[in-house]
Amino acid sequence: MSQQSRHAPWILLSLCALAVFGVLVSLGVWQLQRLSWKEALIARMETRIHEPAVGLPPESTWGQLQADDYDYRHVTVSGVFEHQNEMQLFFGSGHVPGQLIQPGYLILTPLRLNDGTRIIINRGFVPQALRAPATRPATLVGGPQTITGLMRPPEPRNAFTPVDDPASRLWYTRDPVAMAASLKLERTAPFTIDADAGEPQVLPAGGATVFSVPNNHLSYALTWFGLAATLAGVFIAFVWRREATNRAKRSP
């Protein structure tokens, strides 16, 4: 067997190990980039939620808004609730003051502004037994209302999200565009507003915004870098052992 033939498997193995090492390091670097992005997101969120409430962006800009431009922006808006168009969003672990954490619904009601535009307001949480508006007539407040809360973008779906049921006004993802289309509502904002917490014991229980943002990117990065280091160590040990074996064979 020629020397070139003997080295061919070794060269192929080295190239494969180098390729896998490069992929692992690239994944680690990508997670560090995601870490930087996530830390900036969390910092922006914490800053915005404590800022004084401002007015809404004008309707003419809604089509150009990006989620990062407004997510968690503290705003105030006035209008009249359209309770006939109320929707419920399933919420797995809500809380009413004085009661245990339990599943229920977020009440989403269009607010019609004086200029004819609409904003879908997440008014807050109610327990499962109070999903139907008729079971909680005190929540159907009339007349002009001023709402202060946080702007939120549409929620993404995933493979485990149940199918929405617009006919029953039951939703599992907050998608204001789809919601408005199902109710044939015109001039509806492509974002929603989470109402701030109101008085205790008053339903819906506002302040239902979830502020927990998972940030595991550093541990993921360390995992990928650790796998890369392990691969390098195993490969170096393999090379060392192979060379030691070859030297032993060449010894008289």
Residue 111 maps to a domain: yes
Q: Which domain holds residue 176?
A: 52-195
Residue 167: DSSP 8-state: G
77 contacts: CB under 8 Å, gap ≥ 6:
55, 56, 111, 113, 119, 146, 147, 193
| 8 vs 66 pLDDT, higher one | 66
Instruction: Looking at the structure, tell me whether residues 157 and 241 fall in a common domain.
Output: no
Say yes or no: 229 and 168 in one domain.
Answer: no
For the chain, counts of helices (H) and of strands (E): 4, 7
pLDDT, averaged across the chain: 86
105: in domain: yes
Is position 66 within any domain?
A: yes
Q: Which helix (H) or strand (E) holds 194?
A: strand 188-195
- My answer on whether 246 and 140 are in the same domain is no
Same domain, yes or no, for 161 and 75? Answer: yes
Task: Give the pLDDT confidence score for residue 98 in this predicted structure.
Answer: 57
- Do 34 and 88 lie in one domain? The reply is no
How many domains, the chain?
Answer: 2
Question: In terms of domains, do 10 and 90 share one?
Answer: no
- Same domain for 73 and 96, yes or no, is yes
Same domain flag for 125 and 82:
yes
Global model pTM greater than 0.95:
no
**Looking at the structure, do residues 103 and 189 belong to the same domain, yes or no?**
yes
Verify that 72 and 191 share a domain, yes or no.
yes
Looking at the structure, tell me whether residues 161 and 83 fall in a common domain: yes
Give the span between the Cα atoms of 86 and 81, in whole angstroms. Answer: 9
Please, what sign has the CA dihedral across residues 68, 110, 74, 189? positive
The percentage of residues in the chain with a pLDDT greater than 70, rounded to a whole number, is 87
Let me know if residue 171 belongs to a domain: yes
| pLDDT computed for residue 147 by the predictor | 95
Within 13 Å, how many C-alpha atoms sit on residue 136's CB side? 20
**29-42 residue pLDDT tens:** 999 898 888 888 78
Asked whether 146 and 78 are in contact (CB, 8 A), the reply is: yes
At residue 130, the pLDDT reads 92
Residue 209 covered by a domain = no
Query: Which of 65-74, 80-89, 243-252 shows the highest mean pLDDT?
Result: 80-89
* 130 found inside a domain: yes
Closest CA to 242 of 58, 55, 9, 5: 9
Domain membership flag for residue 206:
no
Domain match, 112 and 188 both = yes
Label residue 147 exposed, middle or buried (CB < 10 Å: 0-12, 13-18, 19+).
buried
**Domain assignment present for 204:** no
